[in-house]
């Protein structure tokens, strides 16, 4: 009788899971719990049961789509980012660029359009992606001091920001630069979405975080449009 009850309970759990959409099941798995963290407690982190749940959550976003059409995003953001990068007057033909959490490779294409030698990494690059290879920005598989530029618009997707910053510093050449595109923070009217795992109160908090980690802010510009209101931050790596 006990075995029958256990079997029925297991069947009920299986059937219950099947009733949920993939996104609903992931939401149930990761929850919506956030904890205050970081310097001066100006940051918050999503609470995961472990690194495995974090990885599953971040890989999930391309398996089941995001909140906007990636085809449109690929065309529109490629052009917009290209224009922003040109205004920096920092990139030259042959500049080596590593794009972190590059999804389908849109940002990589923007650098290629300028003539850079660029590659992206992502936990879920999809099948047959010529622009992005599998990689985790907490553990970059690239030599130390090997790239001129590191770019990302995804620090809001990190699990451990200190590890990511250390990896960025490690792979950058001594005269290298870090380009971040970050959304406005919670005190500036923006809140994290379903796939975000790390958030800040203001963009100034992000600047302070990287300056504390031995980066020097050399250029900063705001953008109110695509893909979200935010700022582009360009840092030089301190020696």
Confidence (pLDDT) at 10: 64
| Strand positions, DSSP E, the chain | 34-37, 43-46, 96-100, 117-122, 132-134, 147-152, 172-183, 198-200, 215-223, 230-237
Query: What CATH class is the domain 20-237?
Result: alpha beta
CA distance 202 to 207: 9
| H/E stretch holding 30 | helix 22-30
pLDDT tens digits for range 1-18: 555 556 556 655 554 555
Torsion on CA atoms 88, 91, 97, 99, rounded to nearest 10:
20
Q: What is the pTM of this model?
A: 0.87
pLDDT tens for 57-78 read 998 877 654 444 578 889 999 9
Residue 130 vs residue 37, higher pLDDT: 130
**Residue 200 near residue 45 (C-beta atoms within 8 A):** no
Distance CA 209, CA 215 (A): 9
Contact 235, 215 (CB under 8 A): yes
Domain ranges of the chain: 20-237
């Amino acid at each position: 009788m006990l075995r029958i009850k256990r079997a029925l309970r297991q069947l009920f759990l299986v059937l219950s899971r099947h009733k949920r959409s993939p996104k609903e099941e992931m939401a149930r798995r990761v929850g919506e719990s956030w904890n205050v963290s970081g310097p001066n407690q100006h940051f918050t982190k999503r609470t995961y049961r472990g690194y495995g749940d974090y990885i599953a959550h971040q890989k999930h976003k391309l398996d089941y789509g995001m909140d906007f059409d990636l085809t449109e995003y690929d065309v529109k953001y490629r052009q917009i980012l290209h224009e922003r990068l040109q205004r920096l007057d920092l990139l030259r033909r042959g500049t080596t660029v590593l794009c972190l959490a590059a999804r389908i490779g849109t940002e990589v294409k923007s650098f290629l359009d300028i003539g850079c030698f660029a590659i992206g990494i992502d936990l879920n690059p999809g099948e047959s992606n010529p622009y992005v290879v599998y990689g985790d920005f907490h553990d970059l598989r690239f030599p130390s001091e090997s790239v001129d530029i590191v770019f990302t618009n995804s620090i809001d997707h990190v699990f451990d920001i200190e590890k990511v910053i250390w990896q960025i510093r490690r792979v950058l050449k001594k005269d290298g630069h870090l380009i971040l595109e970050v959304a406005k923070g919670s005190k500036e009217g923006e809140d994290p979405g379903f796939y975000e795992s790390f958030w800040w109160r203001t963009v100034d908090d992000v600047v302070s975080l990287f300056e504390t980690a031995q980066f020097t802010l050399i250029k900063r510009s705001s953008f109110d449009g695509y893909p979200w209101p935010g700022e582009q931050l360009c840092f030089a790596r301190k020696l």
